[in-house]
A and B are shown apart, each in its own frame.
Chain A
Amino acid sequence: MLKGVPNMDDIAMRLEDVCQGRGLVRVNLPPFEEYSLYSTHTGFFRGEPLVTFTAPSGRLMALKPDATLSAVRAWGGQRGVSKLYYTDQVFRLDRHSGDFAQTRQFGVELMGDPDPFSDVELVDLALECLEQLGDYALDMAQMGLLERMMDAAGLTDVQREALQGAIRAKSEHRVSALLTGWGVKEGLTAQFSGLCRQMGPLPQALPLLSGLDTPGTQPILADLTRLVQALGDRAQRIKLDFSVEGDMDYYSGLALKGYVAGAPAAVLTGGRYDRLMPKLGKRGAAAGFAINLSLLDDEPAAAQRPQVVGRYATEAWAEALDWQRTMRQTGCRARLAGPEEPTPAGVPVVDIVKRGGGATC
């Protein structure tokens, strides 16, 4: 658990409060889906194995590896923009252990009529959610911009994937070597290499891109400028960073990654994923993000230790319960232990023999 953040349940409640305060509607998603929902979108899951089982009807099912596909599939296609949030469990392969792992995820989805304000609302919401988690950093990329530049360079699908991998790794030397090897013009190669560098806060980074002369990039830059204006001072908390991973089969505009001090990897991932909608037979546009709550709760043992133990005398049960209630009211984690029961090492022990016990912590 991160410093200053009590536990995963409290974090989820804080995030839900943020969403409820903005009028988002909670959705409950099913724990499993038909396997075909994921097998037909292998670009999104990159062939990851899923936890599958056969339903009594003979249909092959899978425990959800991600909530977004379920949210889009279940969306009714209402007019306007549907603003939804969820707290859910997902099941994916943990690359390090080689086994499946259950992850708790909080997410936001904005789906419906295309509305440029959705990007502003999504980013503002991402910032407010990250604020609930402690010291944070929010990185942003614009996949459309990258795509226009790749169009101008005339790259094939295979080349695009290789180049995106190098940009994702901030590997300026690899970007340069790839583009030079493919015979891309020097000027464009330099522009791609520049995307690997730290660009700083969004308001200061945007002018660095104003010189891009690739067709189609100027309207995207104008949208980003409007985003900065709408967010005001809060835009300073966003860094333009093209290493933000965004599968181009999935993300079509903004892509976001949020980090919280103490967590070893990005806790927030999201962006605009309009391309998924027609693939699932839905109209309109969509954007959203997910926060991996499990990443915020990787030191549960220490945080869950009691701060004080009350050892109750034989049959002093009423006094024991009174003492614990008093301790809890002061915000203290207080555990009760019987007369002979071993107690955790290093935790102070208070004998409860009479009302009050005299303990504080």
Chain B
Amino acid sequence: MLNIALPKGRLGNQVAGLLRNCGLEADLSDLGRRLTVEDPAAGIRYFLVKPWDVPVYVESGVADLGATGRDTLLESRADIYELLDLGLGRCRMAVAGMPNTPLSGRLRVATKYPVIAREYFSARVADARFIKLSGSVELAPILGLSDVIVDIVETGATLRANGLEVLADILPVSARLVANKASCKFKEKEIEALLEPMAQACAKEREVVA
């Protein structure tokens, strides 16, 4: 049995759609309160977990595979394989703040991603201080909690609505198929059998977008 951890919400549904395009019965649309669903014919069990927890489930070996955003993956520092760029949920990690805020000197940075933010600013700013927030990060510079924020930006609409703008791009973000390292040794055939059609489905999806 191959165990796959999927993030709850929009990204999870998109990945389930991709799996269905590969011929799998990955219907997660009407689960009610259930958090697992099995496809016995394909030998696959899906778990629905919080997006931040996908790397934890995969690294611990409870899930053999998982789908998660690159932002979550980098922030978790999980020791897992990143086998495929699924191309879903494309956005970017960026520094944002009030227009013309200088990215130098002493800087207070509010973010949900302190690991990524620290890595970015460590080589650029002499004295950066980090404030970990859980949500509504855009409020921090408006209320004076921080000078800038580091967050994912999709269209920039929320930033603009709050009088903020992107000051610097950090990295592009999209969903990745990740795998437990030990599972890749002992369930190699099952994982390879899934990987090839998924890569093809991703390529097809990109063609449609292009």
Residues of chain A having any CB pair with chain B under 8 Å: 95-96, 135, 137, 139, 169-171, 173-174, 198, 243, 245, 257, 259, 261, 263-266
Contact = CB atoms under 8 A, between A and B. Distances in A.
B27 interface: no
Contact of A137 (B60, B77, B81, B186): B186
B79 A137 contact: no
A174 B186 contact: no
29 contacts: A96-B60, A135-B186, A137-B186, A139-B185, A169-B81, A170-B81, A170-B83, A170-B179, A170-B184, A171-B81, A171-B83, A171-B176, A173-B85, A174-B82, A174-B85, A198-B188, A198-B192, A243-B181, A245-B79, A259-B185, A263-B61, A264-B59, A264-B60, A264-B180, A265-B59, A265-B61, A265-B79, A265-B181, A265-B182
Contacts of B83: 170-171
Interface of B: 56, 59-62, 77, 79-85, 176, 179-182, 184-186, 188, 192
B5 to A, nearest CB: 13
A336 to B, nearest CB: 37
Contacts, number: 49
A198 B184 CA distance: 10
Nearest to A244: B181
A269 to B, nearest CB: 11
B85 A169 contact: no
Contacts of B180: 264
A174 B74 CA distance: 13
B185 A137 contact: yes
Contacts of A261: 186
A173 B81 CA distance: 12
Nearest to A245: B79
A95 B184 CA distance: 22
Contacts of A170: 81-83, 179, 184
Of all A-B residue pairs in the complex, the 10 with the closest CB atoms, nearest first, are: A264-B61, A137-B185, A169-B82, A171-B82, A170-B81, A173-B85, A259-B185, A259-B182, A261-B186, A264-B60
Contacts of A171: 81-83, 176
A257 B83 CA distance: 19
Nearest to B60: A264
B82 A96 contact: no
Given A264-B180, A265-B61, A173 B84 contact: yes
